[in-house]
Structure 1
C-alpha cells in the first residue's frame, strides 16, 4: 500500500513523509506494479544491442564495399590504401550469391515435388486415419436414417434423371 502522505502524478511520486527524506521516483504506475527497476535489471535487452550493432555493421560494410567497388584506384592509392581484393570480386561475389539463392530455391521446390505423391495416387486421398464408409442401414425409420455415403453416380442413373425430367 502506498504512503498516505505521498503526492501522485502520472509520471512522478513525491513522498512528503516526515519519517524519511523526500524521495522522487520516476516510475510509471505500470512499471511499479510490474516491479520493473526494483529487481536490479537495468539497461537494454541483449537482442536490442545485437540489432543495433548488426545494423551499424551492415551500413559500414556496405559503405566499404561501395568505396572499394566504385572509387578509382588512383584515389585509393592517394589516401594510402594499396592492398585490396581484385575488382573482379566486386561483381563476382554478388552474382555468385544470387545464383546460389536461385539454385537453393529450385532445389527446395524439386525436393517438395519428389516427396509429394502423384495426383493419381490414392495416398493423396487416404491415410492411416481414413475409415471405410459404413454400410447403409435401411432398417431405420424415416428421418432417423443416416446420410447415404458419398459415391459416384452411374451414367445410367444420370441419363434416367435427365431424360425423365425432360419428358415430364
Structure 2
C-alpha cells in the first residue's frame, strides 16, 4: 500500500466536532445546558439574553409619543361640555392647541433661515483670495531632473488657478 494512502486511513481527527457527517446525523457541538434559572448567575442573563437598554428606551419612547399624541388630539378636538361630563375640569385653553404647533413650526423655519444666514456671513466673498488660498495651500515644488530618480512620486500640492483657468477656458 502506498505510504500516503496509509497515512490518510490512519488519520483521526483531534476533536469530534471536526467530523463531517450526513445532515440527518449531525450532532450539535454545543454542550447541553440546564436552563434552570437557579443554576445561572444573574450576570449571565443580563449579558446574553434580553433587550438592550437602547431598545427598551426606544420602545417606551415610541409608546409615550403615541399616547401623548392621542391625548393631545382628544383635548384639541373634544368639545368642552364633553370633557366636563367625563370629569375633566382642569385643562389648558383651546387657544394653545393651535398656538403651540404654529409657534414650533415658525421657530424651526426661522432657525434654518438664521443658520443659513450665519453661514453666508462666515464665508468670504467670491472675489476674495481667501477662497483660493489659505494657510493649508501648497505651491507646486519644482525639482531638478536629477532629483527625479530619488523622488518618483510628486509631492502633494494644489493646482494653481492659472492651470485651472487654462484647462477650463482654454489658452487665450
Asked if TM exceeds 0.5, the reply is yes
1:128 aligns with 2:135: yes
Instruction: Give the alignment's TM-score, normalised by structure 1.
Output: 0.60
Q: Identify the residue that residue 44 of structure 1 maps to in structure 2.
A: 51
1:63 counterpart residue number: 70
Which blocks of at least 5 consecutive residues in structure 1 are unaligned? 16-22, 26-36, 138-148, 159-168
Q: In the TM superposition, what is the alpha-carbon distance from 1:150 to its structure 2 partner?
A: 2.5
- Greater fraction helix: 2
1:116 to 2:123 alignment: yes
How far, CA to CA, are the matches of 2:44 and 2:89 in structure 1?
Answer: 55
Partner of residue 89, structure 1: 96
Partner of 1:28: none
Aligned length: 123
TM-score, normalising length: structure 2: 0.59
Unaligned runs of 5+ in 2: 1-14, 19-25, 36-42, 145-161
Higher relative contact order (CA 8 A, sep 6+): 2
| Deviations 1:36-81, CA, capped at 9 Å, x for gaps | x958513210000000000000000000000000011111111100
Q: Distance in 2 between matches of 1:90 and 1:129?
A: 54
1:8 equivalent to 2:21? Answer no
Work out which of the residue numbers 108, 119, 125 in structure 2 matches 1:101. Answer: 108
Over aligned residue pairs, what C-alpha RMSD do you find? 3.6
Q: CA deviation at 1:8?
A: 2.8
Matches of 1:84 and 1:93, distance apart in 2: 15
Higher strand share: 1
